[in-house]
Structure formats: structure tokens, C-alpha cells
Structure 1
Amino acid sequence: MFSPTSCRISLAQPEEDLPTLLQTLNDFKKQSRQPTETAYHAILRCACDYTIRRGKGVGRAGIHDAESDGLGWHLAVAALRDAEKGGVDIGEEGLAQLLRLSTVYPHILPSILVELSAKSLPPTANMYNFIAREAIASENLEQVILVVHEMFEREMTPNPALVKHVVRMLCEWGYPRLALQIAEKVESGSRDGQRVDTAVWVQILITSADNQFLSGVVTAWDRAVQSKIYTPDEGLLFSVLNVAARWGRPDLATKALDVLPDLLIRPQETHLVPLLEAYVTAGQVPEAVKVISSIRAAGMIPTALAAEPIVFALSSADLIDQAFYALQDMRESGQSIDVVALNAVIEASVRLGDLQRVRATQGAAVELGVTPNIDTFNIVLSGCVKAEHRALGDTVFAEMNEHSISPDMTTYRRMIMLCLTQSTYEDAFYYLEKMKADDIKPPHTVYQALLRKCITAEDKRWMAVREEMESLGYKMQQDISRRIAYPETSGDSLARNDSWAERAERSLREI
């Protein structure tokens, strides 16, 4: 420590370097002269400047290279202790200089805070804000989080500008949950009723929607959008709708849809399907069924793809009954029922393997005021294929003619598959020829199924099927090619043939 003889010194200007400062201090010590508060400020500033200059290449792991000995840090701590021994209060400016070190070496901030607490020199809110700004400038996320946490621990509220930058940084790094916690903590802990800026909530909303973070979306939506301060664009609305669909929040989806008129956008199926999915996820399947009809009521044509969530949700007979009762309630209340909604209930019954329920639901179309379309009959045919019920399939095909509905590629494909489930499958070739006569190109799956069946039954027509198949540019699957190239010659050929046949039949049902 220097002797009591003090002297004001003017040193450590920005352009001076550390060696010059150390030499000056050594000269003062020989003269028994003690640095004043201003001198300590200069010492700390010079030490920090030296550290910052020499620490440009410092990574987050810690000190290395030119500053590996931590000279700037040791000098700053020595100055702090010397000032304390001499009874010199370095004040807020001195503390600010000391804390600048943590912007280069984040891992020493806890040590600095402990050191200051031990000296009864707690950092002020301004100092914390300064450290945080420096950390943000260097994109040091860990440092930012630590500083904000320390401020909350000391019941300090970060200033609005700092909150805005911290949230922006967290959102850019994909941490919407932490950004939300900080924003809520600022508002709940503010003694003067400080409110987080709308731009902050918008950032939280966007990042939360991108990361499917429900709490962030709900809270930020209420703060930014529901208050009519901010109007999201269509892209953000789609993100919010996807969140609502995933987490089963039809109320959130409805709020998002309510914004479309403000954007002069007419609702499309892509907007309404997430609402349907939200109802399904929430277990409100009857409401989801009603959404299908509302899509057509809005002037759009719903697709079977839009109804897929309903089909997969109706996984039991009870749920299918609930959906059907919802259709009946709609009919009784005077609401129109879309055929896509009816088809969804029929397809769910097919998936359940309940062919009787399939036919009963199809037969209720007239009662519900619904006109079956080509998809209705094709779905019922898929149930016939699954149940291998050839007679019913023929009846359904005949009903299509009665309703003046022309078969399409799916119809013929399923009729061919249905025929191939029987031991007598001559009609499969009949429907193949009829399909071609209607200028419908048979798909690859039809030829594969015919080829498998013929080879399994040792039907020589497989050669004609293969020839026609190849003329259309289709290739055989590898197992069929191997079967043709290497026919069985051993005594266990029958067992292998049966195994292959079973596999072929399973393949038919999957098509």
C-alpha cells in the first residue's frame, strides 16, 4: 500500500498503455505518494482497456493467448483492495470500470460480484445495464442471462431498452420460453407498473409460434394482437393456427381466423383445416365435423385431405357414433351436411373393419340430405376389398351406375383388387380391359397385383401381364423378378409357394 502522502495524478489517458501506467505507479510508490480516487479510476480504466484490447480473440471458454495470465484482472483486483486499505471510495465510476472486465471474460462476473459484495460495494442497476449492453454487443447470451438473473435477484428492473434487446437476442437464438419468463418478470416485478414494449411481445409471439411454444403464443397474442395494437401478417397467422392445431386450442385458432378480415383475406381451406385439427386434438370431434360443412358454406370445396384428421380421430365405434349423431343434429337444426363429412365417418368405419356400419352410414345419406359422390362409393369399395366381400363390391359398383356416377381409376383399381382376393379372379381381367376402354391408364400397382396372383396360381397369363406392363414402362418388383428367374426346384416348393402367396395377399390388402 502507498504511504499516506497523497497526490492527484493525471495518467492513463485512452492512448496510454499498461506498461506506461505501471511505470508511473512505480515512480509514485518510490515517492511514497498514494493514488487518489481519480487515479484509481484511471488504473481500473487502463486495466480494462488493456484486457479488452488483448482479449479480442478470447472465446467463451475463458482466457487464453496474450491475456493468459489475466494481468488486467489481477491489476484491477489489486487496485480495488489497495483503495479499500487506503480508505478511498472508488465510487460508481470505478465499479463500472471493474465490471467492464466481465464483458470480455463472462466467467469472472460471479467472482467480481462476490468481491464487490464482500467490500460492501453492490453494483447499481445502471452498472448491470451497462454490463448487459456490452454482453449483447458481443452476442454473449450466457452473460446476458446471468446479468438479468442477478438483477432480478437484487430486485432490480432492467430498463426497457435492455429488455427489448435481451428478448430480441433470446428469440433469435430460439429461446421463447426464457424470453417470455423475462418479459413477465419485468412486468410483475416493476414497482411503477412498467409495461414491456409491444415490439417485445411481437418478437415473443413470432418465435413462440415458430417453436410451437403454446404459452408464449397465448400470452403474446393477448398482449400484442388482442389489444388491437399489432396486426399479424398471414404468415404469422398460419404459424399460430398450426400451434392451435397441435395443442388442441380451437379458441386460439378462432382468434387467428378473426384477424383475416382485417387483412382483407378471404378464409380458405388451408385456414380452416387447422381449426378442424384443433377440435380433433381437443377431443371435440363433433365440432370438427361441423367445420367441414362450414368450409363449403364459405364458398370453398372441402377435400378428402382436409377430413383426414377426423378419420384418424374416429378410432372406436363410440367415437364414430358420436360423429354420426353430430351429423343428425346438424340435419335436425337445418344445417347442411357436406358429403366430405359423411365420407369421413364412412372411412373411419372402414378402418375399424366394421362393414355393416359402413353400409348403414352410406345408406343414411338420403336421410341426412347428402348426395353420395365418387369418393363415397370408392371408400365403401375399399371396405369390401378389406373384407374380401366380392358380392357387396358388385352391388356397390352397380349402385354407382344407378346414381349416374362414372367409375374412375380408383374405382377400377379397387374392383380389380377385390376380384384378386377370390380364388376365381377372371373378372379382374374384365375390369382391366374396361378400365383401358374408358381411356384410364392402369397404375403400376394393378399390374403388380395381377402378376403376383397369376404367378402364385401358376397362371400362364402372367407372361401377357408382364409384357403389357413393360410396354407401359413399368418395372417389376425385385421379389417377382427373382421368382420368375429362379423357379422352385426342391421338394419344399409348395411350402415356399404358400408363404409367397400369403405375402402376395397381404400386399393386395395394403394397396
Structure 2
Amino acid sequence: MQAPIVRDGLWRCLCPSYRPNLIFKATRSSRPQALRTHHRLSRPATCNASGLVASRHSTISTSQYRKQHISPTISTSSRGFQSLARLVKGRLEELDTTAIYDNLRVWAATGNQAKVTEAVRYLIYERQERPNVRLYSALILVNVSPLYGTAGKVAALLQDMRHDGIELDAGTCHDVLEALAVHPDYLLRNEIIEYMEERWLTLNNQGHNFVVAGMLRDRMFESALEKIESMARQGMHIQPWLYDKAVYMLCDIGEIDEAYKIMRNRRDSEVRAISPVLWSYFLDTASKYCHHEATKFVWESRVKPSYLQPSSGLCLNVLNTAARHGDAHLATDVFRVLTNRNTIFDHQHYEMLLEAYINAGDIKTALSVLIIMQDAGVKPDDGTTSPILRHLQQDPERPMEAFTILQAFEQAGMKIPIAAVNCTIQAAVAVQDLEQAIEFYKALHVVSPAGPNTATFNILFRGCSKMGRKELAMFLAAEMIQLKVPPDSITYDRLILVCVGGHDIDDAFQYYEEMRDQGFIPRGGTFTSLVKACVQAGDSRAEEVIEDMRHLGINMAKLELWINAQKRKPNLDAKENQERNRTPDAFDFAGVVS
């Protein structure tokens, strides 16, 4: 026998064209309503959202039904219920039934579940009201409460309506959609919409808003946005809260483009009720994602006219966005806002402003930022000038252009920071124009009277190492001593590499020993270059360097592999081997790798 097909939620997901018998379709009794003195409920004992309690195949009277139909937590025979009944009567007995129904609707709309339960209980127990669509509508609508409402409670109430032979009207359908806008259930929502279509019940503007809200809650963003666009084309009124919800949820998932589109269309349309909180949140999110158009849109619309006062942290995000996209105008305006609140600027602020000008291609203003920094007591360094360096080394002509600008600044009476001159020298070295770098160095005293610093010589030593200019490096080293510029670890490191490149092991060891005596440690690559040079020259001092590396805990795995490979070379010249054997200070490979 073939197993029956279970048409559950999964079935409806996989078969969207399937139109089931809706769970809330009313099945009217064959007997007139006036003759129905008993309610036959054939369902398991449950305690559902509406508070309806029934046992399987039980026959209960209307009086019993009224007592059991409201509260799942208070027994009808308990003292708690009796005190509750007196309390309710004290509040509601002065109102007529129509007024109670009107208040019931208000309490339901605000999600006041306790008041709705009390009022429904009072109407059934004291006013002898029979279950009807208005009572069910209130019990459904109260599920708009974010804390106490659920989609499961709504579905249970619809099931109860079916058993009671009460058919949904258009208003109750909209109540269901409003509850599902807070507690989404796309299957139930689709069934409600199908039910309304089958009975030619019109979905009003508010209902369309509830449908979109439910889609957003279900994270069906594409469908929700299509629905919003369709509503706008048809001239429907889209509630401001729906726009707010869409923007918040799109920002949460990083869909800044779509959120920006909504914000822009909303500002340009007649719907202008955008709260300052939403403006601030959107600016914060857009700037975090470095979305330039959205960030500039909010800044120009709200911050510049002083409608919105962003925090200092938010200003940093905007400044970073402006820097990445080369928007110097926006970056400058952020500085205006920060200056008005007496912000103390540091390297981070100036570096982002500088980067904004560089990305905008304004090298002159970018260099002037370095001067402003120095005048403000914030000393530029190599990290500050890195965006300028990246710009200058892209074209061999740019280093000279930048140096000429610095000369013009100096002639205008400005004090040029040494970091700015070093940047042009480093750019010349990067484009392999060492001669131009030396010319910049010679004119440095004129442009920056403070003279060269350690970083200046380190840059030039690197150029000498790359170009194999040992004699020039030795001249610069002597000049460094004459100018009393203190060396650092990078200075010694590069001098060792210059000497190794010039095959002068003695000078390399001299700098190495002097470096170690001052407590500096060479970089791993410098250690390796020095050892390899000694091994290839048969210099036994390599063992001293290797022992130093071992003592410092430097990884030597690759170096030892290289040394072993040198030992196993099959085509060593016999004459070279004989000469090495006759040398008293021959290098002991076995001792190195032991």
C-alpha cells in the first residue's frame, strides 16, 4: 500500500503552486447557530494561544466553554480566578458591552495581552457573549506584542475559529498580517493572502505594509524590495516605519546600496519624516563600510547644515572613507567639524587627510599637510609619508616634481619637515635613480635647515646596496659620523649588506661586530647573507655568526639545507679542494651543521 503524501510545510515550500485547504477555512455547522447549545470539540487536550482548553471527544456546555476558553493559567474553580473576576468587574462593569469591545480593540493593538484576556473573559463569563469574530480578532491582534506574541498562537487561534464555525473577515485577515509582521511565518502569511484572493477580500494599504514587514522579518529582502517598488509605482502609501525597518535590516546585512537607494528616494519624495537616529545609524554604517556615495549623501544632507552632530568616532569613519576615495572636500569638512569641538589631532587624523589628497591626485596639498602637522606639534614620520611615497614611485618624474614643490614652500617661508624630503629621496631610490637621490641629499640643507637624520642615511644606504655602490656607502658613512647622526640597527644592517655585496667580508664583519657590541640584532636575511658569503669565501668566521644565530633562537633550517647542499656539490674543482686543505683556517662544514 502506497504511503500517504504528507502535505506539510516542506511540501508547500517545494511545491509553491500547491493550494491546500487552508487551516483557517470555516466549516459551518449544518444546524442553525441558535440551536447550538453545545460545542463538540474533537481535538486533543491542549492549552493553546487563545487559552482554549478541550479534551478529546468531550461534550461541554456553553457555560463550561466560557470558563475554559480564556485563561490557560488560572483555573475557573480557583480562588485566583474569583479574585480576578471581582477585579475585572470593578473596572469593566460600568462600561456597556459596545464600549468594552471598543476598548478591547485598543488594548489588542497595543499588545496588552493581560487586558485583552481579562476583557474577553469578562465578556464571555459575565456578559454572556458567545465566541465571535470580534473576540477572536482581538486575541489575534494582541500577538503584535514582541514579548508575548508568536506566530504559533495566531495559527492556533485560526484553528479554533475553524472548529467554532467562525469565518475570517477582511479585518481579521489584516490583524493576522499585522501579527505576522512582528512574528513572521511566510507559509501562514501566504495562506492568508490566498484566502483573501479566493473570497475577493481587498488588501488595503496597511495590509500591504504588513506583508512587506513580514518579508523583511523573514529576511526575504529581494522580494520585500520588489514589493516596495511595486507599491510605489501603484501610488500606495508606504508607512515611514516600513522604510525605517527596511533601512535598518539592510544595513545589518551590509546591503548599503539598497539602503542608500531607499534613503535617497525617501528624502527626495514627500515622505521626509526620517528620524535623526536613523540618519546617524545610516551614516555610521555607511562610513564603516567605506561607502562613499552614501556617506557623502548623509554628510551633505544632515551634517553640513548642522541638523546632525556626529560623534568623534563617527567622524573618523567618515574621514577614513574620504581618504580611501580621494574626497579631499569631504575630508576637509570633517576636520572643520572636529576643529569646532576642539579636537586634539594626532597622526591618525592627519594621515587620513593626507591620503585623501593623495588619492585625489593633489600632491601639493598633501605635502602641505606635512607642514601643517609639524606646525601643530605632530611630528611626521616614515609611516605618515607612506601614501605620498606610493604616489611618487609610480612615475620617475614625480620625485623631482615633489622636491620642486618643497623648494617652493621653503622659499615661501615655510618650515619643511625632514620626513617630507626623505620621502622624495626614498621615491628616487625606489625608481632606481640613485644619482637623483644624491642630488636631493645635497640640496637637503637648503630645503630643510635641520639637516639629514638617521632615516635619510638609511634610505641612501639601501640605494647603495641595490646599486652595488660600496664606495658611495663608505663616503656616506663617514659623512654620517662627521654630522654626528646616530646609527640604528637598520643602518648597520644595510652597511653589512653593502659590504657583502661588494665582496668585502672584513668590512662586513667589522660592522657586524660593532652592531652586536651596541646591542643591535641583524635581520634574518642579513644573517643569512653574511654566513653564505663566508661559506663561499671559505671564511671560518661563519661559524661564529651561526653560533650567534643559535644563541638568539633564529630559525636556521633553510640555511643548514643550503650548507649541506654546498657540501654535496659533485663538480668541485680538485685544485680548489687542494687549496682549501692547505689553508690553516679552512672552514669546517661538519662543525657548522653538527
Q: TM-score, normalising length from structure 2?
A: 0.66
Q: Per-residue deviation at 1:354?
A: 0.8
CA spacing shift, 1:110–1:487, aligned 2, 3 Å: same
1:342 is matched with which residue?
421
Q: Any conservation in 2 of the 1:99–1:109 contact (CA below 8 Å)? A: no
CA spacing shift, 1:224–1:206, aligned 2, 3 Å: same
Q: Per-residue deviation at 1:301?
A: 0.8
- The AA in structure 1 aligned to 2:427 is A
Q: Per-residue deviation at 1:490?
A: 4.6
1:386 is aligned to 2:461 = no
1:152 is matched with which residue?
232
Q: Any conservation in 2 of the 1:218–1:252 contact (CA below 8 Å)? A: yes
CA spacing shift, 1:474–1:260, aligned 2, 3 Å: same
- The AA in structure 2 aligned to 1:298 is A
Q: Any conservation in 2 of the 1:44–1:79 contact (CA below 8 Å)? A: no
Q: Per-residue deviation at 1:145?
A: 4.3
1:412 is matched with which residue?
492
Equivalent in 336, 340, 346 of residue 268 of structure 1: 346
Q: Any conservation in 2 of the 1:448–1:476 contact (CA below 8 Å)? A: no
CA spacing shift, 1:480–1:128, aligned 2, 3 Å: same
SS of the residue aligned with 2:332?
Answer: helix
> Is 158-167 or 411-420 further displaced after alignment?
158-167
Q: Any conservation in 1 of the 2:465–2:497 contact (CA below 8 Å)? A: yes
Q: Any conservation in 2 of the 1:385–1:417 contact (CA below 8 Å)? A: yes
d(CA) in 1 for partners of 2:347, 2:150: 60
Instruction: Give 5+ residue unaligned stretches, structure 1.
Output: 24-37, 59-65, 84-89, 498-511
1:377 is aligned to 2:471 = no
Q: What does 1:41-56 correspond to in 2, within 5 Å?
A: 56=152
Deviations 1:153-182 (A, max 9, x none): 432343333333332233233322222222
Q: Per-residue deviation at 1:478?
A: 1.6
- The AA in structure 2 aligned to 1:335 is M
Q: Any conservation in 1 of the 2:170–2:196 contact (CA below 8 Å)? A: no
d(CA) in 1 for partners of 2:179, 2:395: 65
Q: Per-residue deviation at 1:124?
A: 2.7
Q: Any conservation in 1 of the 2:177–2:207 contact (CA below 8 Å)? A: no
Q: Any conservation in 1 of the 2:326–2:359 contact (CA below 8 Å)? A: yes
CA spacing shift, 1:110–1:177, aligned 2, 3 Å: farther
d(CA) in 2 for partners of 1:246, 1:418: 38
Equivalent residue pairs, number: 457
Instruction: Give 5+ residue unaligned stretches, structure 2.
Output: 1-26, 42-48, 60-130, 577-594
Deviations 1:158-210 (A, max 9, x none): 333333333223323332222222222223332xx534222111111111111
CA spacing shift, 1:248–1:179, aligned 2, 3 Å: same
CA spacing shift, 1:181–1:122, aligned 2, 3 Å: farther
1:467 is matched with which residue?
547
d(CA) in 2 for partners of 1:145, 1:47: 27
CA spacing shift, 1:43–1:446, aligned 2, 3 Å: closer
2:433 is matched with which residue?
354
Equivalent in 164, 167, 176 of residue 244 of structure 2: 164
Q: Per-residue deviation at 1:232?
A: 2.0
Q: Per-residue deviation at 1:357?
A: 1.2
Equivalent in 422, 440, 445 of residue 366 of structure 1: 445
1:202 is aligned to 2:288 = no
SS of the residue aligned with 1:259?
Answer: helix
1:282 is aligned to 2:365 = no
1:303 is matched with which residue?
381
- The AA in structure 2 aligned to 1:302 is P
Q: Any conservation in 2 of the 1:202–1:224 contact (CA below 8 Å)? A: no
1:504 is matched with which residue?
none
Q: Any conservation in 2 of the 1:132–1:147 contact (CA below 8 Å)? A: yes
Q: Per-residue deviation at 1:439?
A: 4.9
d(CA) in 1 for partners of 2:387, 2:431: 15
Q: Per-residue deviation at 1:447?
A: 2.8
d(CA) in 2 for partners of 1:389, 1:165: 67
Q: Any conservation in 1 of the 2:28–2:166 contact (CA below 8 Å)? A: no
d(CA) in 2 for partners of 1:285, 1:108: 62
Q: Any conservation in 2 of the 1:248–1:282 contact (CA below 8 Å)? A: yes
Q: Any conservation in 1 of the 2:417–2:448 contact (CA below 8 Å)? A: no
Equivalent in 172, 194, 215 of residue 293 of structure 2: 215
CA spacing shift, 1:95–1:470, aligned 2, 3 Å: closer
How high is the sequence identity, in percent, across the aligned residues? 24
Deviations 1:35-59 (A, max 9, x none): xxx9677788899999x9995499x
SS of the residue aligned with 2:549?
Answer: helix
Q: Per-residue deviation at 1:330?
A: 1.6
Q: Any conservation in 2 of the 1:419–1:425 contact (CA below 8 Å)? A: yes
Q: Any conservation in 1 of the 2:137–2:175 contact (CA below 8 Å)? A: no
> Is 223-232 or 204-213 further displaced after alignment?
223-232
CA spacing shift, 1:120–1:366, aligned 2, 3 Å: farther
CA spacing shift, 1:132–1:395, aligned 2, 3 Å: same
d(CA) in 1 for partners of 2:197, 2:295: 39
CA spacing shift, 1:18–1:237, aligned 2, 3 Å: farther
1:477 is aligned to 2:534 = no
SS of the residue aligned with 2:570?
Answer: coil
SS of the residue aligned with 1:230?
Answer: coil
Equivalent in 124, 127, 137 of residue 207 of structure 2: 127
Deviations 1:445-474 (A, max 9, x none): 443321111112222221222233334x24
Equivalent in 306, 313, 318 of residue 235 of structure 1: 313
d(CA) in 1 for partners of 2:193, 2:398: 61
Q: What does 1:1-40 correspond to in 2, within 5 Å?
A: 14-16=50-52
d(CA) in 1 for partners of 2:177, 2:555: 77
Deviations 1:271-308 (A, max 9, x none): 11011111222222232222122111111111111111
1:329 is aligned to 2:408 = yes
Deviations 1:340-398 (A, max 9, x none): 11111111111111111111111221332342211111111110011010111111112
d(CA) in 1 for partners of 2:303, 2:235: 30
Equivalent in 231, 246, 250 of residue 328 of structure 2: 250
- The AA in structure 1 aligned to 2:398 is L
d(CA) in 1 for partners of 2:446, 2:389: 22
Q: Any conservation in 1 of the 2:137–2:172 contact (CA below 8 Å)? A: no
Which is higher, the Rg of structure 1 or of structure 2? Answer: 2
Equivalent in 503, 528, 531 of residue 448 of structure 1: 528
Q: Any conservation in 1 of the 2:458–2:491 contact (CA below 8 Å)? A: yes
